[in-house]
């Protein structure tokens, strides 16, 4: 995909070498420009991408110093030197700045061979640059956290989303471990409440991609992550580290919890609704339960006289009162002005009746405190398990009947 333009600058007195250079075939996506001079020139040196300098007829040290001082930093310098010059240049401190030294004389085939080998290496470096660009662009456009770690857990590469999450730069993160990056105290880490290396070890041991639900503390907030981790394999096939992607699902989990809560609770009172009661009552581990059915007498008159807004206040007051006096119980609004309380455990008849009376007295007392609710009273029916074999539905039916009997008797 990339296109690479190469400006060759050859310094030589031999035109035949320059002609060989110009005749070399160009690789796909490469285009060449050629410049030549007998002696090194500053302007041409500064423009060149590749400099081939035949220094046999010059002062080697002086010529190399000139070229190194005038060439661009990324430009490559290939020196054609005799054996004595080669031995001299390889001992200099600036030898590392020279790309390669070709000892001359060279036959035409040897010169072509070296040029072709250089072309392949140069193309490989550009292919590597393209691959690196592909990788960086891809991982940095992804909003999820991406990282690469060595076997000891040091972060070798991360994306921008990762940097933003931990509020650190890539330079600060590179080569650093878990505690520093996530600002976690070792003692806090030991509690196992946040992201840990155990999952990394599991991935490296299994040698396959694994999925985890993990928790991480970012600043003052705790985030829920769905992480995908895969092993990185070395040249010999052994595991040398891991690669990971973390998707922040905190908001999704909150939405999920909210949807479940909305589906199972009454919007007005916040109590459980009929759906929750029927779907989850079987999860009660205790077979001994007591079921209380509660209905508000004269509730309709509040709606008729003062409006539904005032009636809603009465329902909210009922829910609040039940939660205060029976906080450990399952409390639900079954619909309209009908409420349900379920207690687990073995109770005597006296205890059940005492609780029934407490519910009625507490509700009647609260209603009496409000001018618009003084006519409201509570009818309560109860049924409890004597053998531990009665089903909830059987007990609910009996309690409902008892509640209506009480309602009729109060009239």
Per-residue pLDDT of the chain (411 residues; tens, 9 = 90+): 899 999 999 999 989 999 999 999 999 999 999 999 999 999 999 999 999 999 999 999 999 999 999 999 999 999 999 999 999 999 988 899 999 999 999 999 999 999 999 999 999 999 999 999 999 999 999 999 999 999 988 999 999 999 998 899 999 999 988 778 877 766 655 555 445 678 889 999 999 999 999 887 776 778 889 999 999 999 999 999 999 999 988 888 888 888 888 888 999 999 999 989 988 777 766 678 999 999 999 999 999 999 999 999 999 999 999 999 998 899 999 999 999 999 988 899 999 999 999 999 999 999 999 999 999 999 999 999 888 788 888 999 999 999 999 888 776
* Among the listed residues 57, 14, 18, 23, the one whose alpha carbon sits nearest the alpha carbon of residue 35: 18
Instruction: Tell me what pLDDT residue 193 has.
Output: 43
* Calpha distance 150→239 (Å, rounded): 9
Please check whether residue 18 is in contact with residue 12, taking contact to mean a CB–CB distance below 8 angstroms: yes
**Beta strands per DSSP E along 279-401:** 289-297, 330-335, 338-344, 377-384
* Calpha distance 363→377 (Å, rounded): 7
* Among the listed residues 38, 59, 36, the one whose alpha carbon sits nearest the alpha carbon of residue 48: 36
Residues in the chain: 411
* Calpha distance 184→28 (Å, rounded): 51
Please check whether residue 310 is in contact with residue 302, taking contact to mean a CB–CB distance below 8 angstroms: yes
* Calpha distance 154→173 (Å, rounded): 9
Contacts of 193-198 with CB under 8 Å at 24 or more apart are 193/217, 194/222, 195/225, 195/227, 197/153
Instruction: Tell me what pLDDT residue 386 has.
Output: 82
HEC letters along 292-307: EEEEEECHHHHHHHHC
Instruction: Tell me what pLDDT residue 91 has.
Output: 92
- What is the edge-to-edge ordering of all strands in the sheet holding 50-54? 30-37, 4-11, 50-54, 76-81, 100-103
Please check whether residue 373 is in contact with residue 302, taking contact to mean a CB–CB distance below 8 angstroms: yes
Instruction: Tell me what pLDDT residue 198 has.
Output: 83
Burial of 35 (0-12, 13-18, 19+ CB in 10 A): middle
* Among the listed residues 128, 67, 131, the one whose alpha carbon sits nearest the alpha carbon of residue 99: 67
Please, which residues have CB within 8 angstroms of residue 179's CB and are 6 or more apart in sequence?
185, 186, 189
Residue 237 DSSP class: S
């Amino acid at each position: 995909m990339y296109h690479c333009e190469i400006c060759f600058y050859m310094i030589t007195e031999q035109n035949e070498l320059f002609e060989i250079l110009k005749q070399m075939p160009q690789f796909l996506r490469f285009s060449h420009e050629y410049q030549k001079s007998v002696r090194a020139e500053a302007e041409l040196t500064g423009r060149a991408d590749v400099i081939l300098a035949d220094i046999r007829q010059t002062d080697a040290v002086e010529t190399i110093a000139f070229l190194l001082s005038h060439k661009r930093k990324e430009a490559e310098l290939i020196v054609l030197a005799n054996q004595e010059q080669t031995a001299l240049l390889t001992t200099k401190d600036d030898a590392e700045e020279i790309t390669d030294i070709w000892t001359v004389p060279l036959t035409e085939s040897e010169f072509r061979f070296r040029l072709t080998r250089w072309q392949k290496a140069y193309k490989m470096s550009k292919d590597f640059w393209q691959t690196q660009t592909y990788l960086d662009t891809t991982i940095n456009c992804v909003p999820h956290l991406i990282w690469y770690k060595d076997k000891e857990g040091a972060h070798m590469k991360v994306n921008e989303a990762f940097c933003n999450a931990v509020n650190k730069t890539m330079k600060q993160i590179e080569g650093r471990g878990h505690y520093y990056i996530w600002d976690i105290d070792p003692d806090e880490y030991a509690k196992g409440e946040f992201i840990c290396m155990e999952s990394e070890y599991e991935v490296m041991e299994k040698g396959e991609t694994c999925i985890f639900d993990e928790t991480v503390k970012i600043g003052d907030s705790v985030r829920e992550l769905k992480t995908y981790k895969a092993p990185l394999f070395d040249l010999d096939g052994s595991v040398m580290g891991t690669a990971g992607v973390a998707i922040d699902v905190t908001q999704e989990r909150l939405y999920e919890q909210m949807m479940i809560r909305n589906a199972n609770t009454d919007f007005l009172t916040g109590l459980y609704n009929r759906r929750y009661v029927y779907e989850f009552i079987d999860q009660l581990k205790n077979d001994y339960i007591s079921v209380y059915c509660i209905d508000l007498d004269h509730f309709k008159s509040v709606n008729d006289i003062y409006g539904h807004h005032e009636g809603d206040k009465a329902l909210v007051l009922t829910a609040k009162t039940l939660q205060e006096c029976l906080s450990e119980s399952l409390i639900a609004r079954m619909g309209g002005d009908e409420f349900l309380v379920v207690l687990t455990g073995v109770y005597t008849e006296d205890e059940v009746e005492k609780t029934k009376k407490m519910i009625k007295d507490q509700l009647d007392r609260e209603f009496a405190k409000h001018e618009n609710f003084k006519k409201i009273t509570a009818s309560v029916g109860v049924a409890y398990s004597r053998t531990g074999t009665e089903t909830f539905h059987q007990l609910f039916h009996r309690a409902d009947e008892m509640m209506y009997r009480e309602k009729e008797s109060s009239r």
